[in-house]
Structure 1
């Protein structure tokens, strides 16, 4: 009987410990619309656009200035182990980025803080 009581107390304590883990709520949801802003430097740091040689290999035009002002929609959200939020975005008009890539990934909080992504 003591074994059952100890097992019950152990399982209750484990369930209680799991419920007390704080998960940081992201303030972005699938379907939210943003606008790509102007980067602080010459290149986008937090929007993971492909390098120019990959764009050219897939038949696109590597002009990063054309991405500025494009409206994008969030397609998926992923919490990484280090606590950052990785978001995948695509253009709202259905076209491809640079004529070659449909979806790109973004480090969400850093992109908002630097102005590379702007909420609408």
Structure 2
């Protein structure tokens, strides 16, 4: 009887957590949505397309991608081509990414799968 009670409690908790989770899919994203940048997968973001580091440095920017983690961004454009969805994002606070880039393109499916964008 005790095992049954533990199992039912576990099942109800898992069900509640599954309903609360919000999945990021290309169909639910519209222009104006606010998203959050996650941790980079590696040294830099793989699916958020920043320019090469030498171009960022030439424009007077910084190359610390870890500072971007947790930054709120706004979707400004959405394009679906060849089974991929690319969105364009800018910072919600109006500042530039890495002090030199105003807008950035993102491969939505890959970035969401790698938890680079939440």
> TM-score when scaled to structure 1?
0.73
Q: Please, what TM-score do these two structures have when normalized by structure 2?
A: 0.74
CA contact (8 A) 1:36 1:68 kept: yes
Tell me the number of residue pairs that the alignment of Structure 1 and Structure 2 aligns. 93
SS of 1:112's equivalent? helix
State the structure with more CA Rg: 1
Question: For residues 49 and 35 of structure 2, what CA distance do their matches in structure 1 show?
Answer: 15
Please, which runs of 5 or more residues in structure 2 have no aligned partner? 1-25
Q: Classify the secondary structure of the residue corresponding to 1:41.
A: coil
Contact 2:40-2:66 at 8 Å conserved across structures: no
Query: d(CA) in 2 for partners of 1:32 and 1:78?
Result: 15
Whether contact under 8 Å (1:26, 1:85) holds in the other structure is no
> C-alpha root-mean-square deviation of aligned residues, in Å?
1.2
Q: What are the superposed Cα offsets for residues 50-99 of structure 1, whole Å, 9 maximum, x if unpaired?
A: 2211111111111111111110000000112x210010000000000011
Q: Which residue of 1 aligns with 2:99?
A: 99
By how many angstroms is 1:41 displaced?
2.1
TM superposition outliers: structure 1 runs of 4+ over 4 Å: none
Unaligned residue ranges in structure 1 (runs of 5+)? 1-24
